[in-house]
């Protein structure tokens, strides 16, 4: 929300509270039985003002928090990507490296979907994959969905895919038509919006994000009240302001008596 609109909404809510306070100050001129009605009206006005003026601002709190985190120097974000094997990884890395705040791009692994394995096929792949390439030291064969995940350690996805595809063609006489490449990008928090826009322009959305901004968003979202709860709180604020207005004269008189008591005590 625009900062000017935010200020206007807050001022309008304050004006409503001044109106509620003014109604409460009319207590000397109203029957006592109408005091309850004043409190009901105060709660209603507070809730209405909260729903129309403060609720939109409150809903933007996660965005405000993330904006502050993005401006903090030293904050970093890690974006995890799941890319198609048809993606030009070198061009993607080159384009992202041109963005101010880019720190690193790392290919972390590949997933090769095959078919749902039988027990014997599962045992075979568990044994064979590690012998396909000396770099395949960390891999997982998923029996349920029939996929093979191979972690990349100082090894590019293109080299790993070529090595596996050559072995697969030799053994099963078929091509590997598709694979998924997993990558990790580390950037400054200030570059998050620009990096996400650059990825989106290529049809890529991060599967997950870790870092100061995401942590702040998660913490803010988890601690926020629901919209209805927030409106009730605003109604409570209106109720308190109404009570202050109703008993303002009593507060003033009490304060004057207390001050007079203190002055008299000092003279003694």
pLDDT per residue over 149-173, tens digit each? 999 988 888 888 999 999 989 888 8
Q: Where are the domains of the chain?
A: 3-67+221-267, 88-203
Report field, pTM of the whole predicted structure over 0.75: no
Position 265 scores a pLDDT of: 57
pLDDT top residue among 6 and 26: 6
The strand order across the sheet containing 180-188 reads 139-142, 147-151, 102-113, 180-188, 76-84, 208-211
The number of beta carbons lying within 10 Å of the beta carbon of residue 261 is: 10
Interatomic CA distance for residues 168 and 162, integer angstroms: 10
Q: Do residues 46 and 239 touch, judged by C-beta distance below 8 A?
A: yes
pLDDT per residue over 199-208, tens digit each? 999 899 999 9
Res 64 pLDDT > 90: no
In a 13 Å sphere around the CA of 185, the CA atoms on its Cβ side amount to 30
Position 184 scores a pLDDT of: 93
pLDDT per residue over 19-62, tens digit each? 988 888 877 666 777 778 888 889 999 999 999 999 988 888 88
Res 256 pLDDT > 70: no
Position 254 scores a pLDDT of: 58
The SS3 of residue 135 is: coil
Among 4-8, 12-16, 168-172, the range with the most confident prediction by mean pLDDT is: 12-16
Taking all residues of the chain, what is their mean pLDDT, rounded to a whole number?
85
The mean per-residue pLDDT over the stretch 10-20 comes to 91
pLDDT per residue over 95-110, tens digit each? 999 998 899 999 999 9
Cβ-Cβ contacts under 8 Å for 53 (sequence gap 6 or more):
9, 10, 12, 13, 16
> How would residue 233 be classed by pLDDT, with cut points 50, 70 and 90?
very high
Interatomic CA distance for residues 199 and 182, integer angstroms: 14
Interatomic CA distance for residues 41 and 235, integer angstroms: 10
pLDDT per residue over 242-254, tens digit each? 888 887 766 655 5
Q: Do residues 178 and 85 touch, judged by C-beta distance below 8 A?
A: yes
Position 232 scores a pLDDT of: 94
> How would residue 258 be classed by pLDDT, with cut points 50, 70 and 90?
low
Evaluated on CA atoms 256, 261, 265, 268, the torsion sign reads positive
The SS3 of residue 74 is: coil
Residues forming beta bridges with residue 102, ordered by sequence position: 187
In angstroms, how far is CA 192 from the centroid of its own chain?
Answer: 13
Say how many Å lie between the first and final Cα of the chain, rounded.
60
């Amino acid at each position: 929300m625009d900062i000017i609109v935010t200020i206007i909404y807050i001022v309008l809510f304050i004006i409503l509270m001044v109106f509620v306070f003014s109604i409460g100050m009319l207590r000397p001129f109203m029957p006592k039985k109408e005091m309850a009605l004043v409190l009901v009206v105060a709660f209603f006005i507070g809730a209405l003002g909260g729903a129309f003026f403060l609720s939109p601002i409150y809903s933007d709190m996660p965005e405000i928090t993330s904006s502050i985190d993005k401006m903090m120097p030293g904050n970093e974000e890690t974006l995890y990507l799941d890319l198609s094997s048809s993606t030009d990884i070198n061009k993607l890395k080159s384009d992202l490296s041109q963005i101010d705040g880019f720190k690193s791009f790392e290919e972390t692994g590949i997933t090769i979907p095959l078919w749902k394995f039988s027990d014997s096929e599962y045992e075979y792949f568990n044994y064979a994959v590690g012998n396909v390439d000396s770099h395949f030291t960390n891999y997982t064969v998923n029996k349920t969905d029939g996929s093979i995940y191979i972690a990349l350690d100082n090894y590019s996805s293109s080299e790993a895919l070529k090595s596996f595809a050559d072995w697969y063609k030799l053994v099963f006489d078929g091509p590997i038509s598709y694979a998924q490449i997993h990558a990790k990008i580390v950037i400054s928090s200030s570059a998050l919006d620009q990096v996400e826009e650059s990825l989106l322009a290529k049809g890529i959305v991060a599967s997950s994000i870790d870092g100061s901004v995401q942590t702040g968003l998660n913490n803010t979202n988890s601690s926020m009240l629901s919209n209805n709860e927030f409106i009730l709180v605003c109604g409570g604020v209106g109720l308190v302001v109404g009570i202050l207005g109703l008993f303002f004269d009593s507060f003033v008189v009490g304060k004057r008596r207390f001050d007079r008591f203190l002055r008299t005590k000092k003279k003694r």
